[in-house]
Structure 1
Amino acid sequence: MPVRTSGSSQSGRGKGIGLGLAVGSAIAFGGSGVAAKPLIEAGLDPLHVVWLRVTGAALVMLPLAVRHRALLRRRPALLAGFGLLAVAGVQAFYFASISRMPVAVSLLLEYLAPALVLGWVRFVQRRPVTRAAALGVVLAVGGLTCVVEVWSGLRFDALGLVLALAAACCQVGYFVLADQGGDAGDDAPDPLGVIAYGLLIGALVLTVVARPWNLDFSVLTGSADLNGTRVPAWLLLGWIVLIATVVAYVTGVLSVRRLSPQVAGVVACLEAVVATVLAWVLLGEHLSAPQLAGGAMVLLGAYIAQSSAPAKGSPRPVAGGEPERDPSAHEATA
Structure 2
Amino acid sequence: MPAPGLVMGGVLGLQCGAALTTRLYPVVGPAGVVSLRLCLAAVVLTALWRPGLRWDRTTLGVAAAAGTLLAVHHLSYYEAVDRLPLGAATTMEFLGPFAIALFGSRRAADLLWACLAAAGVVLLSHSGIPLDTAGLACALLAGCCWGGYILVGKRLAERVPDGRGLALAVTWGALLSLPYGIAQAGSRLLEPTTLALAAVVAILSSVLPYTFHLEALRRLPPRTFGVLTSLEPAVGALIGLVLLGQHLAVPQWAGVLAVALASIGATRAPGRAGPRRRVGSSVDGHVRARQSREPPC
In the superposition, the TM-score normalised over structure 1's length comes to 0.74
Q: Structure 1's 57 and 171: CA in aligned 2 closer, same or farther, altered over 3 A?
A: same
Q: Structure 1's 63 and 221: CA in aligned 2 closer, same or farther, altered over 3 A?
A: closer
Q: Structure 1's 118 and 247: CA in aligned 2 closer, same or farther, altered over 3 A?
A: closer
For 1:204, the equivalent position in structure 2 comes to 175
RMSD of the alignment, in Å? 2.8
Correspondence 1:18 to 2:3? yes
Ranges of 4+ aligned residues in structure 1 off by more than 4 Å: 218-222, 306-311
For 2:137, the equivalent position in structure 1 comes to 162
1:130: how far off?
A: 1.9
Whether the aligned pair in 1 keeps the contact of 2:36 and 2:189 (CA below 8 Å) is no
- Matching residue within 267, 277, 280 for 2:238: 277
For 1:39, the equivalent position in structure 2 comes to 24
Correspondence 1:138 to 2:115? yes
Counterpart mapping for 1:1-334 below 5 A: 17-40=2-25, 42-64=26-48, 66-71=50-55, 73-85=57-69, 87-117=70-100, 121=103, 129-148=106-125, 150-151=126-127, 155-180=130-155, 188-211=159-182, 214-217=185-188, 220-221=191-192, 233-307=194-268
1:131: how far off?
A: 2.0
CA distance in 1, matches of 2:76, 2:210: 17
Q: Secondary structure at the match of 1:287?
A: coil
1:190: how far off?
A: 2.8
For 2:282, the equivalent position in structure 1 comes to none
Q: Deviations over 1:150-204 (max 9, x none)?
A: 256x921111110000000001112111211656xxxx32341121011111011
1:288: how far off?
A: 1.3
CA distance in 2, matches of 1:286, 1:68: 46
Whether the aligned pair in 2 keeps the contact of 1:280 and 1:286 (CA below 8 Å) is yes
For 2:279, the equivalent position in structure 1 comes to none
CA distance in 1, matches of 2:265, 2:162: 28
CA distance in 2, matches of 1:47, 1:30: 18
1:212: how far off?
A: 5.1
1:219: how far off?
A: 8.6
Whether the aligned pair in 1 keeps the contact of 2:156 and 2:165 (CA below 8 Å) is no
Q: Structure 1's 139 and 71: CA in aligned 2 closer, same or farther, altered over 3 A?
A: farther
Q: Structure 1's 236 and 309: CA in aligned 2 closer, same or farther, altered over 3 A?
A: farther
Gaps of 5+ in 1: 1-15, 123-127, 223-232, 315-334
CA distance in 2, matches of 1:235, 1:279: 22
Gaps of 5+ in 2: 276-297
Q: What is the total number of aligned residue pairs between the two structures?
A: 274
CA distance in 2, matches of 1:273, 1:158: 21
CA distance in 2, matches of 1:68, 1:180: 19
